[in-house]
Amino acid sequence: MKIWEALIYGLVAGLTGLLPVSFSGHAAVLQDAFALSPLTQGGGLYIRAAITLGLSAALVLAFPGELQLTCGELARRPQRGKRARQPSPRRRAVLMGLLALPIGLLSLIWCAAAERITRLSLIAAFFCLNGLILFAAGRPGGQKDARALMLPDALLAGATRLAAVLPGLSPLGLTLAVCRLRDLRTDFALRFTAMLTLGFSLCEFVYRLLRAVVVGAFSASLWLPMLVALVASTVAGYFALQYLKYLLHREKLRVFSYYCWDAAVIALILALINA
């Protein structure tokens, strides 16, 4: 893996992995269009692990204090008596996230198989589906807080992760869509999605690092590309999240629908060229 390839992957990962437009789909298109080294074998596995860690760092930087508040809710002892029946909105959100997390982590079981999907026409179809979901969720935000989150919502948020490993589908986008379709407030939907995505990303980093150690090929020359990919994905991811905040508070989520459909057209054109 060359340094310039790691830089491209890191920048694209930050800009697309933390926007609802799918990094895996973009990585497949880039690899086909520019003959980049793959992230699914050899030293690319270490670069992918570094990118995942960078995305986690971007989430922490973009939501300062949110992780501390979430951990505080986990460490706090549950109340007894009458108050225990009505937990605070933040605590309820944390509990729903804890229910969604283990379901979503089942996606790691077939993550490697999903990464083998390189047929651009199929990736274009997933881009279209992602765009349709975002378009449906692009209506104005509701007024509900975490009290509106129910067990089926937590199960659905976790289940979307099972499908979101497919290239062209966005894990962050599908989780955000679940929150928006439940008419949750925009600010809460974004914070809940960010913390749930952070939990997934940290667990995914451990998985990808272990996978790289077991089946990857490490060499000393990978240290610099890994560092470049880590820094690039962190910086790009931070600014991508700021842009996402800007668009969501202006009720412009559907902008990403049009982008996904444009990406699908590009993928189809490349598929026709390669045919």
Residue 70 has a pLDDT of: 66
In the chain, how long is the greatest CA-to-CA distance?
67
Alpha helices (runs of H) in 76-118, residue ranges in sequence order: 89-105, 111-115
CA of residue 223 relative to chain centroid, distance: 25
133, 174 in Cβ contact below 8 A? yes
pLDDT in tens, 27-60: 989 888 888 888 888 888 999 999 999 999 999 9
Q: Please report the DSSP string for 22-84 in residue order.
A: -HHHHHHHHHHHH-PPPSSSTTHHHHHHHHHHHHHHHHHHHSTTHHHHHHHHHHSPPP-GGGG
Residue 191 has a pLDDT of: 83
Residues 124, 143: Cα–Cα separation, whole Å: 34
Residue 189 has a pLDDT of: 81
Question: Domain boundaries in the chain?
Answer: 3-72+88-274
Residues 157, 155: Cα–Cα separation, whole Å: 5
Residues of the chain below pLDDT 70: 67, 69-95, 141, 144-149
CA nearest neighbour of 44 among 212, 238, 262, 239: 212
